[in-house]
Amino acid sequence: MPCVLWVARNSSAYLSDLVHPMAKLEASSTRLFASAWRPIANMIRVFMLLMTVGAVLGTYIIQGNTAPTLTRVNTGPKPCQTIPQWEGRASEWNHITESNNRYIISFDGVGLRKRVLKEAKSFMPGERQYNYIMEFKTNTLYTINLNLNTCTVTNLTQPWQNHTIPTDATLEDEYELGAPGSGFRVREWSDRLPARRAESWIGIFTIAGCWPIVEIFTDDDPQNPVSFTTRFFDLTPGIANMSVFDPPEICKSQTVHPEPEFEPEPEFEPELEFDPPITNQNFNVTIDDDKDSGPVNSYFKKGWNYLKSWF
Ligand SMILES: *[C@@H]1O[C@H](CO)[C@@H](O)[C@H](O)[C@H]1NC(C)=O
Ligand SMILES: *[C@@H]1O[C@H](CO)[C@@H](O)[C@H](O)[C@H]1NC(C)=O
Ligand SMILES: *[C@@H]1O[C@H](CO)[C@@H](O)[C@H](O)[C@H]1NC(C)=O
Ligand SMILES: *[C@@H]1O[C@H](CO)[C@@H](O)[C@H](O)[C@H]1NC(C)=O
């Protein structure tokens, strides 16, 4: 008997506060074995064990099934909002047409206007430089050929989209970009719906200021494949010169027309270049009056909730 008591004290001293709460229960139960109340002690022991196991299991079930779901919905960073007016440059890869374009962008989320100046590539002789002014309040697209000083006025076919993270976006990751120690932190968002929809859009935005870094949009719809990667750089807040949204004089005489109009020379046979191929039934093309200019403007009819192409 003294031996049992000694063991009980010993195990209690070692285990009670250090390792596990169950040890305390074991230790005190061992002590009770030494007394005359052995049957009652056993009943108490079993009862306490059941209570403990029940409590632990209950905690597990609540935490495992309810708490994390609520946590995921109710806490964590919300999509930030990019400043409504900004300017900058962008490089857009269209992986379907395997073409890369660089743009100078002025984005007016207040007046619902966009101005996109397509940078000419100096190594492509004959390539024209285009300025696109998009007025979403009047549903008008001005396509200005800066080399020929001509203007084509057509209707926009895409709805207005704020350039920011959609409020229903899913947070994918948060990390530092750039050199170790002197980088900056970004968050990566997507349109993925957990267990319901794979992502077709990924947007990487800075945590400080909510500035776009990279956007990727893809849709493998066989009728209408889309795949864009756009990088943003040299961004500045505000619009330095609001006049960039004013259509030039050459556009004033034009009226908005649904079909592109042009006055070809008598012998002029317009060369249509489709980008992507004409077989794409959701695709629409506007052409210009210069046969060397290539595609002037093109966009998809299909509307998405997420930003992808710049025009
Ligand atoms: C987004 O654009 C709509 C117009 O389509 C506007 O009413 C809304 O305020 C804009 N939201 C933000 C955050 O700029
Ligand atoms: C503002 O933009 C307009 C149109 O592009 C241009 O004619 C004008 O020179 C610009 N003003 C300044 C101060 O840069
Ligand atoms: C072009 O836009 C004008 C004005 O917004 C509208 O009246 C006209 O129906 C549009 N045309 C087409 C073909 O959508
Ligand atoms: C292209 O757009 C014009 C007007 O904008 C419309 O009449 C025509 O049906 C469109 N074509 C296709 C293939 O969507």
Per residue in 206-240, pLDDT (tens digit) is: 999 999 999 998 887 777 788 889 999 999 999 99
Q: Which residue has the tokens 């990390």?
A: 175
Supply φ then ψ for residue 97, to 5 degrees. -90, -5
> Which ligand is nearest the CA of 86, by number?
1
Ligand 2 nearest-atom number relative to CA 246: 4
Residue 160, ligand 1, Cβ within 6 A = yes
> How many CB atoms sit inside 10 A of residue 5's CB?
14
pLDDT digits (tens, 9 = 90+) for 170-194: 999 999 999 998 999 999 999 888 8
Average pLDDT over residues 99-110: 92
pLDDT at position 230, please? 92
Question: pLDDT confidence of 126, banded at 50, 70, 90?
Answer: low
Question: pLDDT confidence of 47, banded at 50, 70, 90?
Answer: low
d(CA 114, CA 85): 10
Question: pLDDT confidence of 108, banded at 50, 70, 90?
Answer: very high
Ligand 4 nearest-atom number relative to CA 259: 4
Residue 155, ligand 4, Cβ within 6 A = yes
Residues in the chain: 311
pLDDT at position 311, please? 53
Residue 305, ligand 1, Cβ within 6 A = no
- Cα 160 to averaged position of ligand 1 atoms, centre (Å): 9
pLDDT at position 51, please? 63
pLDDT at position 281, please? 33
Average pLDDT over residues 37-65: 57
DSSP track, 221-286: -TTS-EEEEEEEEEEEES-S-GGGGSPPHHHHT----SS------TT-------SS-TT-TTEEEE
Question: Whose Cα sits closest to atom 11 in ligand 3?
Answer: 258
- Cα 156 to averaged position of ligand 4 atoms, centre (Å): 11
- Find the range with the poorest average confidence among 47-61, 116-130, 271-285: 271-285
pLDDT of 290 higher than 70: no
Question: Whose Cα sits closest to atom 14 in ligand 2?
Answer: 241
Average pLDDT over residues 141-164: 87
Residue 284, ligand 4, Cβ within 6 A = yes
Residue 241, ligand 2, Cβ within 6 A = yes
The more confidently predicted of residues 274 and 87 is 87
pLDDT at position 294, please? 44
pLDDT at position 196, please? 78
> Which ligand is nearest the CA of 260, by number?
4
Q: Which residue has the tokens 């024209």?
A: 128
d(CA 216, CA 209): 20
pLDDT digits (tens, 9 = 90+) for 6-36: 433 333 333 333 333 333 334 444 444 444 5
pLDDT at position 81, please? 93
- Cα 258 to averaged position of ligand 3 atoms, centre (Å): 7
Residue 244, ligand 2, Cβ within 6 A = yes
Q: Residue 106, class by beta-carbon neighbours within 10 Å (0-12 exposed, 13-18 middle, 19+ buried)? A: buried
pLDDT digits (tens, 9 = 90+) for 68-96: 343 344 468 999 999 999 999 999 998 88
What the block records as the tokens of 69 is: 């779901």
pLDDT at position 272, please? 36
- Cα 135 to averaged position of ligand 1 atoms, centre (Å): 15
pLDDT at position 37, please? 56
> Which ligand is nearest the CA of 109, by number?
1
Residue 75 is given by DSSP the state S
